[in-house]
Amino acid sequence: MPDLAPLWLTLHLALVTTVLLLIVGTPLAWWLAHTRARIKPLVEAVTALPLVLPPTVMGFYLLVLFSPNSWIGSFWVTVTGKTLTFSFSGLVVASLFYSLPFMVQPLQGAFQAIGPRPMEAAASLRASPLDAFFTVAVPLAGRGFLTASVLTFAHTIGEFGVVLMVGGNIPGETRVIAIDIYEKVETLQYGEAHLLSAGLLIFSFAVLVLVYAVNRRGFSHVR
């Protein structure tokens, strides 16, 4: 029986990341879906960067940023007494960047699909913009929220390169499942590596089947 600590750590990281990205990504996606600002392509590009950038590149720059020598890293040390590098908090922050497009892009698409009409109807029924957002846009974008959350969660679980760069391989703190597999292979424990890899493979496949099934059937109220 393999050590389950990396699994729990991975799920913990994915859950925290998904929740935080829901809070941060929703307003960003809403803004991208509605803005006519000139800087929109710039923001969209930055959001999509993690999709194309090698994780090592991202990890490297995050490592530099998180270092206690940088102002961000030293500020974190002053506030929390711990470093961002090689810590769980550092992994969470890194994951927020790494998984950002998986949250923002499905949400932006869902918000754009709703269009201005239901929101205008809500305004004409005396709903303030915030009220209309929660009572009309969010329910209508339900499928988008589900897709975005599931993809973010699954993508964070599969994180490897960034974790290795920023977090290293500290049991119970930064040794997530992907790192654990790497470690097992390095130390020639192929049996355990198989078990973990198969588990991750099945999980990822199941998640994608779920996402596509939901998108195909849809909720009848989404156009």
Partner 1 sequence: MSARRLELQASLRLEAFRLEAELDLTLEGVTALFGPNGSGKSTLLRVIAGLDRAEAASIRYDEAVWADSARSIHLAAYRRPVGLVFQDARLFEHLDVAGNLRYADRRSRRNGGGITWEGVIEALDLGNLLERRVARLSGGERQRVALARTILTRPKLLLLDEPLSALDIGRKAEILPYLGSAPRHFGIPTIFVSHAIDEVVQIADRMIVLGEGRVQAVGSVSEILERSDLQSYTGRFEAGSLLEAVVTGQDEAFRLTELSFAGQTITMPMVSFLSVGDAVRLRIRARDVALAKQRPEGLSIRNILAGEVVEVSEEAGTAFAEVLIDLDGPRLRARITRASVSDLELGPGERVFALVKSTTFDRRAISRRQ
Write out the residues near partner 1 by the rule CB under 8 A: 117-118, 120-129, 131-132, 135-136, 139-140, 142, 219-223
CB of 109 to partner 1, least distance (A): 18
Query: Which residues have C-beta within 8 Å of that of residue 155, sequence separation ≥ 6?
Result: 98, 99, 102
Residue 138 CA to residue 132 CA, distance in Å, equals: 9
Residue 3 or 120: the one with the smaller Cβ distance to partner 1 is: 120
CB of 102 to partner 1, least distance (A): 25
Residue 143 or 175: the one with the smaller Cβ distance to partner 1 is: 143
Q: Residue 31 CA to chain centroid, in angstroms?
A: 18
Residue 172 or 218: the one with the smaller Cβ distance to partner 1 is: 218
Residue 223 CA to residue 113 CA, distance in Å, equals: 8
CB of 107 to partner 1, least distance (A): 17
Residue 145 CA to residue 207 CA, distance in Å, equals: 15
Q: Please, are residues 20 and 89 in contact by the beta-carbon 8 Å criterion?
A: no
Residue 2 or 142: the one with the smaller Cβ distance to partner 1 is: 142
Residue 69 or 220: the one with the smaller Cβ distance to partner 1 is: 220
Query: How many CB atoms are located within 10 Å of the residue 192 CB?
Result: 17
Residue 62 CA to residue 85 CA, distance in Å, equals: 9
CB of 10 to partner 1, least distance (A): 34
CB of 131 to partner 1, least distance (A): 8
CB of 216 to partner 1, least distance (A): 18
